[in-house]
């Protein structure tokens, strides 16, 4: 298929009047991390005046000085139960394994419901491991349920073996070995303590698990324990994972007895994709058996292939790759049905097939994003098939979720502009019990003593266990009180999933100072901040992006120079107004670059302007009247950036409503926000 024809195919789907050059390697390009990064969910902000007894503050000071054992002991003498439990919980939680396991067991007995049993059990296992407790104590403490940590499981299996219970020891050892990645130190510990319990079948099962997750070095460490046939597949799979030049030759040399093995089929498919052998790649994937090891990994490989096939102008093959994924985790099946339905409708003009896939997707979807996506596209499929009434019903289902991207698209199709902020539930019936709960008292006590950050995990776990709307509202409100805006959003999302919308907390305004100097549309800044950091001032991503707007240090330094302020790495994660000034200036530059297109500005903010420009060349310009911006967004080849753009656009309309701006439809915002 010629380059011109491939470009023409995508141009036709988007409604372009002319051909556009198509870049070959879009699906394999890396996201530009100069301006982006993922954000870990953690941290909090200090607040308040010291409160509680003098003895409580003294015990807390000892804990903060780094002596959890002494602090725990001092807390035991406190008369006030909330004060006592607050210090003891913090010593247990923030100092893994340092508090004696018997003390933790006593804490659970004395303070049921104060903190999740799961956390306490984890700390007990860490304490037992640290103390090198004897086998009898380990079995007595851990045998009631499967340990939560790998080290805890190793400890219990070793204890069973020491006590002569070979059956239980073997069962647990196999589970540890087969189902976990393990560090090299943990591997060595298992080999030394439990190696005699592991047979060739267990080693092969572990190798399969590691191979399917591209853990080449880990699988190679198992070679001494494998048969010659198994070794041939491990070596070949490692070569494919590394995209080595001899990978095909090694695959050809894999023992014939393993040619039907899922890892062999997967590796053949991946190697075919690496060399653009598209039909072969799809064929190998579709030879897979119904029951697969690590079936989610099969979907990720299919998704990569699907995107490359679309870029190469091969929608029929892309459809085969998507529709061929029939069994796996529900979340992956939802994705597979979306891709199959979207390709059938938008590229193959087959609304009947699309309707089947979107209907199946709607039946599996449980979260607002996927429920609305399924029903919005189901409506488009029904409309294409001439089923106006069915299209209307699907749009109404999606439009019920007015704070998310596809729900807003559905509202636009129904002629409704803006977003209706849903009313909060009446929390008054829940206030007395909520305020009397010891966890709530502990959160307020920590915050009042300037330790709100310590209170965040306590409130997070507490909020996750609430079910009533009023309680969830009060928990979100408490998170706002201690400036843990990211936690308020998380609690509000939990409430929404449980049938209680808390839009005012899911889309907070308090995370940005009212007097902050912003260089871009305020609603757009809020929209980006919510997606980048959930208003967590001290968020730092694995890539090094910092603060509310997740600025990379190099970008922040350059923008600070342009703005005329001093560059301060520390202020990026401590001064909300400073971070927002620099971040909004960078966002404003992207909006200016793309003539007010928030779609392109968000794509550039997440993946870099170079990628955004590349996608314009490949797929057309979403600002143009002859391009469907909804399909353009779906064509973004990076999963992260597709999701990012959709959420920023969805957030933007909500924040326009919260800030009192004139209502827009999402279709309008997809073109320009000027």
Would you please indicate which residues are annotated as catalytic (active-site) residues? 532
Instruction: Return all residues near 436 (Cβ < 8 A) that are at least 6 apart.
Output: none
Count other C-beta atoms under 10 Å from residue 441's C-beta.
18
CA torsion through residues 631, 636, 637, 638, sign: negative
Question: How far apart (Å, rounded) are the C-alpha atoms in residues 181 and 204?
Answer: 14
Question: How far apart (Å, rounded) are the C-alpha atoms in residues 563 and 579?
Answer: 12
Write out the DSSP string of 297-349.
Answer: HHHHHHHHHHHHHHHTT-HHHHHHHHHT--SS-HHHHHHHHHHHHHHHHHTS-
Count other C-beta atoms under 10 Å from residue 553's C-beta.
14
3-state SS class at 117: helix
CA torsion through residues 557, 559, 562, 563, sign: negative
Query: Phi first, then psi: what are they for 156, rounded to 5°?
Result: -70, -40
Tokens 């030759």 sit on residue? 249
What are 546's strand-pairing partners? Answer: 540, 551
- For residues 315 and 280, is the Cβ–Cβ distance under 8 A? no
Question: How far apart (Å, rounded) are the C-alpha atoms in residues 590 and 600?
Answer: 8
Question: How far apart (Å, rounded) are the C-alpha atoms in residues 481 and 439?
Answer: 15
Question: How far apart (Å, rounded) are the C-alpha atoms in residues 550 and 102?
Answer: 43
- For residues 5 and 442, is the Cβ–Cβ distance under 8 A? no
Q: Which of 251, 199, 250, 248 is nearest to 227 (CA)?
A: 199
3-state SS class at 157: helix
């Amino acid at each position: 298929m010629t380059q011109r024809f491939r470009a023409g195919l995508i141009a036709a789907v988007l409604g372009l009047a002319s051909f556009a050059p198509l870049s070959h390697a879009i699906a394999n390009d890396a996201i530009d991390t100069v301006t982006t990064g993922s954000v870990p969910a953690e941290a909090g902000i200090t607040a308040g005046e010291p409160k509680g007894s003098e003895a409580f503050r003294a015990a807390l000071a000892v804990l903060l000085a780094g002596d959890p054992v002494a602090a725990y002991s001092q807390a035991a003498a406190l008369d006030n139960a909330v004060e006592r439990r607050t210090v003891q919980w913090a010593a247990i939680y923030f100092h893994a394994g340092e508090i004696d396991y018997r003390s933790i067991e006593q804490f659970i007995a004395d303070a049921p419901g104060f903190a999740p049993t799961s956390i306490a059990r984890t700390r007990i296992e860490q304490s037992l491991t640290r103390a090198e407790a004897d086998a009898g104590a380990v079995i007595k403490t851990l045998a009631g349920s499967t340990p939560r940590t790998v080290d805890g499981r190793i400890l219990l299996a070793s204890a069973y073996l020491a006590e002569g219970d070979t059956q239980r020891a073997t069962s647990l050892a196999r589970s540890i070995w087969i189902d976990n990645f393990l560090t090299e130190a943990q591997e060595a510990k298992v080999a030394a303590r439990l190696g005699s319990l592991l047979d060739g079948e267990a080693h092969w099962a572990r190798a399969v698990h590691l191979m399917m997750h591209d853990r080449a070095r880990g699988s190679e460490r198992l070679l001494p324990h494998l048969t010659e046939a198994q070794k041939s597949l491990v070596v070949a799979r490692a070569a494919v994972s590394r995209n080595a030049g001899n990978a095909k030759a090694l695959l050809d040399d894999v023992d014939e007895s393993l040619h039907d093995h899922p890892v062999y089929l997967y590796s053949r498919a991946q190697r075919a994709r690496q060399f653009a052998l598209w039909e072969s790649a799809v064929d190998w994937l579709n030879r897979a058996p119904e029951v697969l090891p690590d079936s989610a990994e099969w979907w990720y490989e299919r998704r990569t292939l699907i995107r490359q096939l679309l870029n190469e102008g091969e929608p029929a093959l892309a459809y085969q790759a998507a529709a061929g994924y029939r069994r796996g985790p529900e979340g992956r099946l939802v994705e597979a049905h979306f891709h199959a339905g979207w390709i059938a409708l938008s590229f193959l003009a087959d609304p009947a097939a699309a309707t089947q896939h979107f209907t199946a997707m709607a039946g599996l979807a449980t979260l607002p994003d996927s429920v609305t996506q399924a029903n919005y596209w189901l409506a488009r499929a029904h409309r294409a098939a001439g089923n106006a009434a069915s299209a209307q019903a699907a749009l109404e289902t999606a439009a019920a979720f007015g704070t998310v991207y596809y729900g807003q698209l559905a509202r636009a199709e129904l002629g409704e502009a803006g977003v209706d902020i849903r009313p909060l539930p009446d929390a008054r019936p829940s206030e007395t019990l909520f305020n009397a709960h010891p966890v709530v008292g502990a959160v307020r006590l920590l915050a009042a003593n300037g330790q709100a950050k310590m209170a965040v995990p306590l409130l997070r776990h507490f909020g996750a266990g609430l079910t009533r709307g009023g309680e969830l509202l009060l928990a979100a409100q408490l998170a706002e009180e201690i400036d843990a805006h990211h936690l308020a959003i998380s609690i509000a999302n939990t409430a929404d999933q449980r049938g209680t919308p808390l839009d005012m907390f899911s889309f907070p305004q308090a995370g940005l100072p009212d007097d902050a100097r912003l260089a871009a549309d305020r609603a757009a800044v809020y929209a980006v901040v919510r997606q980048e950091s959930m208003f967590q001032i001290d968020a730092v991503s694995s890539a090094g992006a910092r603060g509310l707007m997740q600025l990379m240090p190099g970008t922040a330094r350059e923008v600070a120079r342009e703005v005329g302020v001093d560059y301060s790495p520390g202020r990026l994660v401590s001064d909300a107004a400073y971070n927002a000034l620099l971040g909004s200036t960078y966002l404003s530059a992207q909006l200016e670059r793309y003539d007010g297109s928030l779609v392109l500005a968000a794509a550039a903010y997440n993946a870099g302007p170079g990628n955004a420009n590349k996608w314009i060349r490949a797929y057309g310009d979403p600002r143009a009247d002859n391009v469907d911006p909804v399909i353009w967004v779906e064509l973004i080849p990076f999963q992260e950036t597709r999701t990012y753009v959709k959420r920023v656009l969805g957030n933007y309309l909500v924040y326009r409503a919260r800030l009192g701006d004139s209502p827009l439809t999402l279709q309008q915002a997809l073109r320009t926000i000027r």
